Structure 1
Amino acid sequence: MRRSSFANWPCSIARTMDLLGDWWTPLVLREAFYGVRRFDEFQHSLGIARNTLTDRLRRLVDEGLMEKQPYQTQPVRHDYVLTEMGRDFFGVLLAMNAWGDRWLADEQGPPIVFHHDRCGHRGRPAVVCDDCGEPMTADDTRPRLGPGYPTRLAERPDVRERFAD
């Protein structure tokens, strides 16, 4: 049975979830950020079924987050390398990691920490306003309709109320 698609929803969160599709895809991307490039390495590190991994890697390549680069010709074998679009997903994984560290880590602390090479310190990600640099939180940030929101939906009273200034 085919699942519903969120690809055309006027919501970047829904579209991102549509692209990710399942729980394995972010883990494949995580492993790529950890330096994994080869099919067998992904399979070994994740313990994922080969057919599932094949599907996830194919989707990531098709959607432009990874690209295949041949490293062997007989038989043909590929490295799976993050593209610019894929590397840009790093912030999403950092945000998920920070949330998990705060709410799901045990008393020993976070299982993985991140070293920021630029400043030389261990860093924790923060979502900040790109204009003022201040943190953006659920208490002080409101969604508003953007230029890509469909006009036919923006005219609905419930939508106007939800995104009112």
Structure 2
Amino acid sequence: MRTRVSIFPVFAFCIVATDVSADCAQGMIPFSSCEIVGRSTSLNICHDDFTVSYRYGTRGKVPELYLSEPIATVDYRPWDGDALIGSITFRNGAYAYEVVSGFNSEFSDEGLSHFGWVTVSYNGEELSKLECVQTSVESVYGSDVYDLKVAAGLRWDGEETGWVAVSGSN
């Protein structure tokens, strides 16, 4: 169950990460990244106009796991203006990697407090939950992936229904 907190939606569109692109392939746009607690690994989500990619491994090296899915089919759950948390799930056979990121709405001297994790499951059963080092979580909030899904003929119909095809689109 998610706790919903109302803040002015404009805050989310003002948060832009600066170093997220460090491990995006050339031509890819950063979406989210973090270092994993207790490991010397990182997680990076990047996209272009057609695909979203998941990279997990040691920064600067060949990733231990690289997954890529079309924008139109990737399971992306945007925050809706009330919730301060969003997710994107990548599938690899019976495995699923749900990357969650968000921020606390309370401002401090350091700004917003980000958080995140990746939940790894097999056939729907959770195998592990890897927490992000809080100070390393970087997310680009805005409408890139959302707008690309809309351009692919989809519309967000809320958390219960998810993405649905727009009438008259392919």
Q: Whose relative contact order is higher, 1 or 2, with alpha carbons under 8 Å and at least 6 apart?
A: 2
> Which structure has greater strand proportion?
2
* TM-score (ref. length: structure 2): 0.24
* TM-score (ref. length: structure 1): 0.25
> Which structure has greater helix proportion?
1
